[in-house]
Amino acid sequence: MAVIGHATEPIKVLCVDDNADILLLLTKAIQAEADMACIAALRDSGELMRWIESHQPDVVLIDLSIPGVDAFDMIRRIRQQHEHVRAIVFSGHTDQESVDAALEAGAWGYVFKNTDLPRVIDAIRRVASGSVSLVC
C-alpha cells in the first residue's frame, strides 16, 4: 500500500494497452489485490496525461505499442511533468534495446508480457515503494 501522510491508501494503477483482453486481465488482477486499485484502463495515449493530472496514479503500466504519442516520449513527459508517478513498461518487446530505451526515458520498471501475473503485481508493488523492477 502507498503511504500518504498518516493514512495507508491502495496503490493507484493506470493501465495503458491497445489490447482490450490484456487490459481486462490486468484490471481484474489489480482489482483482486487488497492493496491496489486500477483507476483506469486506456487503449491509447490520447487521454493519458489528462487522466494522470486528474487522478494522480502512483503507477502507470504502459505498453510500448500504443496508438498515439510514442510510448518513450510519453514516459519522458510523465517523468518530467509528474515526478511522483512511476511508469512501468509492460511490453511484448523483449529486446535489450527496448529495455534500455525505456529506462533511459525514465521508466521505473520493465515487464515482459509473457510474465506471470503474480510477478507483474510484485513489480507494481516494488515500483510503488520506490524500487526499480525489471522482470525480463
**pLDDT recorded at residue 7:** 52
**pLDDT recorded at residue 5:** 40
**pLDDT recorded at residue 2:** 52
Q: Does residue 129 register a pLDDT over 70?
A: yes
Which pLDDT tens digit goes with each residue over 91-115?
A: 999 999 999 999 999 999 999 999 9
**pLDDT recorded at residue 97:** 96
| DSSP letter string, 19-72 | -HHHHHHHHHHHHTSTTEEEEEEESSSTTHHHHHHHH--SEEEE-SS-SSS-HH
Find how far residue 3's CA is from the centre of its chain: 18
**Structure-block grid coordinates of residue 15:** 493501465
Which pLDDT tens digit goes with each residue over 17-68?
A: 999 999 999 999 999 999 999 999 999 888 899 999 999 999 999 999 988 8
Question: 11-16 and 36-42: which strand pairing?
Answer: parallel
4 falls in which pLDDT band (50, 70, 90)? very low
Q: Which domains are seen in the chain, by residue range? A: 2-64+71-129 (3.40.50.2300)
Contacts of 102 (CB under 8 A, 6+ apart): 64, 72, 75, 89, 91, 110
Q: How far apart are CA 39 and CA 10, in angstroms?
A: 10
Q: Does residue 76 register a pLDDT over 90?
A: yes
Task: Give the amino acid at 88.
Answer: I
